[in-house]
Amino acid sequence: MKKLLLLLCICSLSNNISAQLKGRVVEKTNDKKEVSAIPGVIVYWHGTSVASTTDDKGLFSLPIVPSTNKLLVRAIGYAADTIFIKDTTKFISIRLKSGLDLNEVEVVYETKATSISFLNPIKLETLNEKYLMKAACCNLSESFETNPSVDISFADAVSGTKQIQMLGLSGKYAQITKENMPYMRGLAGAYGLNFIPGTWIQSIQLSKGAGSVVNGYESFTGQINTELQNPETSDKLHFNTYVNQNARNEYNINLKHRFNEKFAVGLLNHVSYNPIKQDLNNDGFLDIPSGKQYNFLNKYSINTGKGFEAQIGGAYLQDSREGGQTSLSTSNKIAEDSLYKLSIENKKWELYSKTGYVFRKKPGTSTGLQLSYLNHDQKNRYGFSEYKGLQKTFYANYIFQGLIKSSTHGYKVGASFLNDSINESFATLKYQRLEQDIGVFTEYALNIKDRFNMVAGFRADYHNIYRLFFTPRLHIRYAFNTNSILRFSGGKALKTANILSENMNLMPTSRNWIIETSNLNTPYGLNPEIGWNYGLNYTHKLSLNYREAYFTIDLYRTDFKDQIVVDLDFNPQQVWLYNLKGVSFSNTAQFEFGWEVRKRLNIKTAYRYVESKTSYKSGLLQVPLISIHRGFLNLSYETKNKHWLMDGTIQYNGQKRLPSTKVNPAEYQRENYSPNFYQLLGQITYVAKIRQADFHVYLGIENALNYKQSNPIVSSSSAYGPYFDASMIWGPIYGRMLYAGLRYKIK
């Protein structure tokens, strides 16, 4: 299989497989003034089945078909229109006029909260703003509560941090990007998902398996890309406030101003507080730390209309938390200076730019440059142990894409540079490293009449530590017909394991860290992680009771050739980290079914099986704290007048293997496996439209069944004893959580 991949992979999947026509559809009155965007408009090329539908902002993106330039636009309640496109590189604006013989307009097509691309060789699922409104989604880490492909859970019992899992592996093996630039790297590994507020997110693109070499060589299990609100298309004003049962309160305000057709600016602001201290399980530790976050982003958008486009931005974040032991809830009075205290403080600022030029006389040809600089300072305290980290990262990525004679053959070439400087210390461990990487990549995309697509990619990198290495990737799509798609993906990945920042959930323990070095010339004295991922996906659309339905089957395997093994089983008082000696793999099978049961009533259900095993010092064992079985059911309903939105999700979490504690004293031992449990969450939203403004009031509940893990902290009464461990978390800590909020938007 490797030889086949190496032969075929000349390049890799890019963000856009083929050239796209982009535009917006709005309503006009007799005086030709724009009134509002029109969602649900069908836009398609004459004589083909290549079609698209506008989203809630009236935006659409449509693959270019060389055989025709005639674009047909159809919408219920509006006069049909036919447009001849002279330049497919321009962003087009289409104005539709209301039908003269209609007193009432009913839009019968509803934008879905999630959509799966049928034309992309990789299974790409897009989660839009409608999806993000289905749950609290206060930040990116909480945006996957209603998604069956990504698991979310608490990282430990004291920090309140949530982590994700994908394809049976930790989230560190997924490439998480922000606007297609690296994001979750280095110090951001533990808390970075909490640093993107939900109201800042325009959409999330979720793909499984080998990712794109255009974005780097680090994707093992897939890519999660977050697109932030764009000043060109976002609301003029978006205000959101939120409060929950723990008194966590948030305030978000997004502002946008368009100076003219070429220049727009956006300002995204977030402030949140956790003011109160609660210990509802009476173990002497705060269930959720108190703290505050200030988060700001300024973004500028330039579009000359002559081919040049640019986005320039800067952001600043300050996040602090305090938790740990409290004398108020301990049975034995403890001196204040002897309490086990937790403090986490992150300060981060960044600058970035994305510039591009579209060659107007050469359809499908463009060039782009991505630049970013990050400075991240982190200081944490766990009892008497302290972690300090400082990261300075510069990233550059140049991409050129074009067509070979026609859209049947496309290509991308480019180069990237990464300069990563990280200094870390924890307890007696101190590390300093500088990683510099220069990479070149190329890709070839073959598209045959929407029936067969292949994207093959190859990347070569020269690393100052690992020297020269190669990353091949391959994606194939075959359409049996317009409703049945089969996809294959395969590729290699490599990454440096950030063993401290990626394992901060193990810092609030009494375990001694032991690093079994294998190469003193590499970071931490450990070799890089290297693995291959292979996957099959079958997606089929059908009609049930005259309503749209779909099902999809995913089969993926990740096979590690080298890995940093985090061994918690060899000794419950130690954390062993060493390079893999044996095998390590993860097999995942998932079935998902979605159906519009009745008008505006949608159901989505899924089941996933995971077999994830690694060779430890104790032998080949199942990876701890990962559910073997997981079930998922989501129901959503919208009333006919669109005033009420209701959503409910129930999750089944199968048993998880727990790290061995059998040599501990009896009172500090845990079971070998966690029990099965269910989680129920839901939300109801009232929507009122006032002229050009939308007003939402929402009320929701998380963990409605009030299921909690009992005694989440091992040896909680003796935090400085040899058996203290706050990392054995397999279920909810807090219990039932009510929340409420409101949104106000001006289009």
Give all strands (DSSP E) within 195-289, no chain letters: 201-208, 222-228, 237-244, 249-258, 263-274
Q: Mean per-residue pLDDT for 204-217?
A: 91
Q: Mean per-residue pLDDT for 669-688?
A: 96
Q: C-alpha distances in angstroms, 490 versus 136, 172, 208, 470, 609?
A: 35, 19, 11, 14, 20
CATH at 549: 2.40.170.20
Is the pLDDT confidence value at 203 over 50?
A: yes
Residue 347 lies in a domain: yes
Residue 167 lies in a domain: no
Higher local confidence (pLDDT), 362 or 626? 626
Contact of 711 with 662, CB cutoff 8 Å: no
Q: Mean per-residue pLDDT for 239-256?
A: 95
pLDDT at 7: 37
Contacts of 681 (CB under 8 A, 6+ apart): 135, 145, 146, 648, 649, 700, 701, 702, 703, 704
Reported as a single tens digit per residue, the pLDDT across 387-399 is 999 999 999 999 9
Question: DSSP labels for 56-91?
Answer: TTSEEEEE--TT--EEEEE-TTB--EEEE-S-TTSP
Q: Mean per-residue pLDDT for 17-38?
A: 66
Residue 208 lies in a domain: no
The closest of 600, 717, 609 to 665, measured between CA atoms, is 717
Give the pLDDT band of residue 131 (cuts 50, 70, 90). confident
Reported as a single tens digit per residue, the pLDDT across 296-311 is 999 999 998 888 999 9
Give the pLDDT band of residue 67 (cuts 50, 70, 90). low
Q: What is the mean pLDDT of the chain?
A: 89
Torsion of CA 418, 419, 425, 431, to 10 degrees: 100
Reported as a single tens digit per residue, the pLDDT across 563-577 is 999 999 999 999 999
Give the pLDDT band of residue 35 (cuts 50, 70, 90). low
Residue 520 lies in a domain: yes
pLDDT at 20: 76
Tokens read off for 405 = 């004679």
- Compute the radius of gyration of the chain from its Cα atoms: 26
Percent over 70 (pLDDT), the chain: 91
Residue 9 lies in a domain: no
Tokens read off for 630 = 């997981």
**246 residue type, one letter:** N
Residue 571 lies in a domain: no
Task: Tell me the residue range of the domain where 531 lies.
Answer: 227-556+639-652+674-746
Q: C-alpha distances in angstroms, 462 versus 306, 318, 444, 720?
A: 37, 35, 22, 45
pLDDT at 471: 97
Q: Mean per-residue pLDDT for 424-430?
A: 94
Is the pLDDT confidence value at 2 over 60?
A: no
Separation CA 126–CA 343 (nearest Å): 36
pLDDT at 579: 97
The closest of 148, 149, 114 to 133, measured between CA atoms, is 114
Reported as a single tens digit per residue, the pLDDT across 611-655 is 999 999 999 999 999 999 999 999 999 999 889 999 999 999 999
Task: Report residue 92: phi and psi, to 5°.
Answer: -105, 145
**252 residue type, one letter:** N
pLDDT at 532: 98
Q: Mean per-residue pLDDT for 368-376?
A: 97
Residue 139 lies in a domain: no
pTM of the model: 0.84
- Total number of domains constituting the chain: 1
